[in-house]
Structure 1
């Protein structure tokens, strides 16, 4: 990797951790605002759906906040990777059962199936994004 490319990555790494953290905090809050929607995507083999929804919401909020703090960034990034792996069965279930969120307008529902399947490889992108913050950086000591 050239120095110029490395500098570009470094320049964007710090602000993007705040974007990522905010996305997880907002997503985690949604678990408490619309728990029934999240319960619908928990595979039927999992018990205590509401508890799992709240637990994953708390985890998203805590890890999203943690990734924005330099001292907890690496630990929180590993936690986000674990969380993304843990919720993957819900994403598969959502795609295979064609569970479209209630917030999707009727006019877009015919294309929702494609979006549900596209969400699965997006998990890999999110894991790679979190993994980026598991790597040591100068911010870790602050």
Structure 2
């Protein structure tokens, strides 16, 4: 976003905040998906043992994150993808709670419940980013484009 801001200042073009917000969130989702491949076993351990097909679920959710990430780059799908991203942030959060409460050794979860003091606000920031910058930004851009 900083690069886009500087580019708009030097070129004199209007900064399309929604566009770059979608792209940033898309890049974040692509990054998140890497963990499902690189840290697969750790991701499996983040799920309670009673969850069936944990390994397949980790791969499936990683694929879902890739699909969302790609969709956030395609104007036709950006708004729905941002809405789905919000749902994903909410639905995946219980796995972070479980991992933190059980001190699962992946990505800070080994710190125990204190990790949620970091992860909780981060989730809220990501949800706010998706909603206010992407969903609402897309709606504002669509309204202004129609005039």
Q: TM-score range by the shorter chain?
A: 0.7 to 0.9
- Residue 45 of structure 1 deviates from its aligned partner by 3.0
Give 1:24-35 correspondences, 5 Å limit: 24-35=29-40
The answer as to 2:97 corresponding to 1:92 is yes
The answer as to 2:48 corresponding to 1:43 is yes
Gaps of 5+ in 1: 1-9
TM-score (norm 2): 0.73
Matched with 2:123 is: 123
Tell me the matched-pair count. 125
Alignment deviations for residues 43-69 of structure 1 (CA, whole Å, 9 cap, x no partner):
233211011101110111110111122
Matched with 1:61 is: 66
- Residue 116 of structure 1 deviates from its aligned partner by 4.3
Q: 4+ runs of 1 displaced by more than 6 Å? A: none
Q: Distance in 1 between matches of 2:117 and 2:105?
A: 11
- Residue 24 of structure 1 deviates from its aligned partner by 0.7
- Residue 27 of structure 1 deviates from its aligned partner by 1.2
